[in-house]
Structure 1
C-alpha cells in the first residue's frame, strides 16, 4: 500500500533554501539569503501541508451494460480528501472504445470536483474499461500519493439494434401470445376460408348458406390460435473483414450480430417467441421465450460471441428447430456443415430463410486481382455461390441483409407456400 512521498519540487525547494542560507551565512553574502527566501517559504508551506491519514482510491463505472454507441462515465472515489489539492487520472487505451478526453488523461483541483472520464464503446462484445493510474497531490505540490494502478471494470456492450420492421407474417407460427397468427388450420376464431366437407370435419363448422347454394357440404376453416416460434441461427465461426465499429466498415460478424439483434427485438416486440442458436466453438443455445427479459438474454448472448475462437464444432450440426417454427440462418455461408444442416432443415419441411451477411468483406481483397489473397477470395466466393445455388434449388430463399424490409417479400412467399400440400422427406 502506497503512502505520501515528497515530490521533486519539495526536495528541490528544500535543497535550494538550505544551500542559500548556509552559503549566505558562511560567505557573508546577504544576497544569497535574499535569493533563497522564496524557496524557504515554499519548503515551509510544503512541509506543513503534508497529509497525515492513509488514502483509499477506487474507480467505478456508472453503467456496466450498454449498447454500441452509448456512453458511460468513470468516476474516482477517494475516502479521505483531507489535505488533497489535485487529482490526476490516466486511463489505458482500449480497442473499439472511444474516450474523452481523447488521450484518456484528466486532472482537476479537488475543490472543483474529482476528474471524470467518459467512455463510449463502438463495437459489441466484452470490453475491459478503467485500467488506469491515479495520483494525488497535496497543497503547494509538496507531497504525492501514488500513482497506483486501479483494476479494470468489465463492460458488456450489446449490439446496436438497427431500425428494422416487417409487415409480413411469419409463415409457420407456433404458440399463443404473439401478434403473428398461425397459417395452419385449427380451432380458432380468425376466418381462413371455405372448402368442401371432408371426413373428420366437425359438423358445427358446416356453412349452410354455401352448402344449400352449391348442393354440396362446405365447412368454414379458421386459423389455429398460435403465435410465431422464431429461431435465429447465428454463425459465429469466422469474422471476415475489418471492423471499424459503428462508425466504420462492418465485418461479416458485425453484420450477423447486428442483424440478429434487430430481428430478435422486432419479434419480441410483436409478442412472438424467439430462440437462438450460436454456431461457434463455445456456442450457446437460448430456448424459445418472450418478453423484455428474454430480449436482454438474447442480446447478452450475442455480446458474448467470440470471433477469435479458432476451433469449429463437429461436422454434423443439429440446429434443433422445432416443427412449425421459422428459422432465420444469419451467416456468410462459408462453413460447409452449416450449409448442410440448413439444407436438412429445408428437406424436413421447416420454413428456412438464409440471411446473407457477407456484405463487402471481400472487396478489399480483390484490389489486386493477381495477388494470392485476391485469388483465394475469388475461390471462396465461387464455392459460396455454388452452395447458395444448391440451397435455392431446394427452395430455401437467400436474402442479403439490407435492414428494414429485408424479409417482407420472402416471408409473404413462404406464407403462401406453407398452405400448399407437400410431401416431407
Structure 2
C-alpha cells in the first residue's frame, strides 16, 4: 500500500481545532470586556483560555506527516487474526493519534469496534487486531486516522487509508478417514486395488510360477504340499476424487466460524476438509463449482494443488449460472474416480448429475449440506404464511429426490464433521468388489 502524502492546504493538512478557536475567542472577549468594564476579575476568568490558546499556537506544526498502513498477512483462515500496523514519518509535531477502522461483515476487531487512541509518547502507534470469521475475499484495514498537536491546538485529518484485499480460506475440521476408495485406478497410493501386485494386503496363495520373487515364497505351505507356493498381494493405488460443490443458492443464516452455518458454509468447509485429507494420502483431487463463478480446478496432488483448491473455495460466488450444469460429460469424470457431491439437494441440475453418474456405474456420494433448521429468506412484502407453505412443499419435493437417489444406489449422508462419510465409503468399496451383471 502506497503511503498517504497530503497536499499542502488540502483536506488532510493541519487545521486549527475547535478547541483552539474557542479558547482564542473566549480569551479575547474576556480581556476586552475586562478593559472596557474595568473589572480585573474578568481577566482572571479569561486567563485559562488565554493560556490554552497561547500553548496551542506555540506548538503550531511545521511538517505534514506521511501515513502508511499495512496488514501482517494477506491470506488467513477463518477465525485466525492479523494485525493492522500504522507507520508514521515526519510526525514530530503530533502528540495524540486516533484510529477508526471500518468493520465489514463477519469481521471482529480488538479493540472492539476498531477505535483506538493513544499518546504517541507513551507507547508508540497503537495497533488494531483484525480477525475474519467467514471464508471469502474481504477488504480489511480500511480506516481513518487523525493526529493532534500538544494541547489539541491543531488537527491533521481525519485521513482515509484504503484497505487491502485479504483471502480468507475455509477452516478444515480435523478429518481423517481410514475407508478405502471404491474403485482405485492410478499408479501408486494407499488404497487396495482389485488387481494383484506389489503391496502389503494379502490376496492369496498360489503355486510358484517363473518370474516370481523368492521372498514371496511361503515355506510353510510349500513344505506341507511338496511344491513351491508364493504369497500374492493386492496392489496399492491412488484414486481420483472429484468434489462437486453446489453454489446455486445459500440456504440458512451464517454467523461465522463460531456460530450457525449456512448450506454454503457447510459445503465449502466440507470440501476443504475432504480435499485436504485425500491430498495428504496422495490421491488426485479435482474441484467443480456449480454456480455463477464456474470455479474449477483440475486433477492434481500435492500441497500446492491443495492450496489452489482452497483459494478457489474462498472465491465461490453464489448465484445461478448462465446455463444449467446438467451435462455429465462437463464434469470430466474418469474411470476409478469417486464423485462427492456437496449440495443441499434443492436444485434439479445437481440431482440429475448425481442420478446419471450413478446409473453409469460411477461411485457417487451425496453429502447433504442443508442445515438442520434452515430459515428461508422471505421478502418483507411477501405473505409469511404462503412463504412457509411453499418452503414445506419444497422440502417434500426434496425428500422425494433423496428417496429416488437412494433407490438408485446413490448414498446420501448429512455432513456432521469428522467421520461423516467413512461408513458410506466402506460400503461403496464392498459393493465395487461384487460381481456385476452387464446387459448387452
* TM-score, length of structure 1 as denominator length: 0.89
How many residues align? The count is 417
Deviations 1:101-140 (A, max 9, x none): 2222111111122122222211111112222211110111
2:177 is matched with: 166
The correspondence for 2:301, drawn from 284, 290, 301, is 290
The correspondence for 1:19, drawn from 2, 13, 29, is 29
| TM-aligned CA deviation for residue 424 of structure 1 | 6.1
- Going from structure 1 to structure 2, the CA distance change for 1:239 and 1:361 (only over 3 Å counts) comes to farther
- Going from structure 1 to structure 2, the CA distance change for 1:300 and 1:327 (only over 3 Å counts) comes to same
The correspondence for 1:337, drawn from 345, 349, 352, is 349
CA contact (8 A) 1:184 1:223 kept: yes
CA contact (8 A) 2:185 2:193 kept: no
CA contact (8 A) 1:168 1:408 kept: yes
Deviations 1:212-247 (A, max 9, x none): 999xx9996543342122111111111011111122
Deviations 1:189-218 (A, max 9, x none): 344524899xxxx8646999989999xx99
d(CA) in 1 for partners of 2:331 and 2:398? 20
CA contact (8 A) 2:252 2:371 kept: no
Matched, 1:232 2:243: yes
1:253 is matched with: 264
2:133 is matched with: 122
Unaligned 5+ segments in structure 1 are none
| TM-aligned CA deviation for residue 146 of structure 1 | 0.5
> Equivalent residues in 2 for 1:179-258 (5 A)?
180-194=190-204, 204=211, 222-258=233-269
Deviations 1:364-410 (A, max 9, x none): 799xxx92222212211221122222222221111111112111211
2:65 is matched with: 55
The correspondence for 2:82, drawn from 52, 72, 76, is 72
1:152 is matched with: 163
- Going from structure 1 to structure 2, the CA distance change for 1:362 and 1:7 (only over 3 Å counts) comes to closer
1:99 is matched with: 109
Larger mean CA deviation between 349-358 and 219-228 belongs to: 219-228
| TM-aligned CA deviation for residue 4 of structure 1 | 0.3
Matched, 1:372 2:383: no
d(CA) in 2 for partners of 1:272 and 1:235? 22
1:33 is matched with: 43
1:265 is matched with: 276
| TM-aligned CA deviation for residue 314 of structure 1 | 2.3
* TM-score, length of structure 2 as denominator length: 0.86
2:403 is matched with: 389
| TM-aligned CA deviation for residue 282 of structure 1 | 1.0
Unaligned 5+ segments in structure 2 are 1-5, 7-11, 379-383
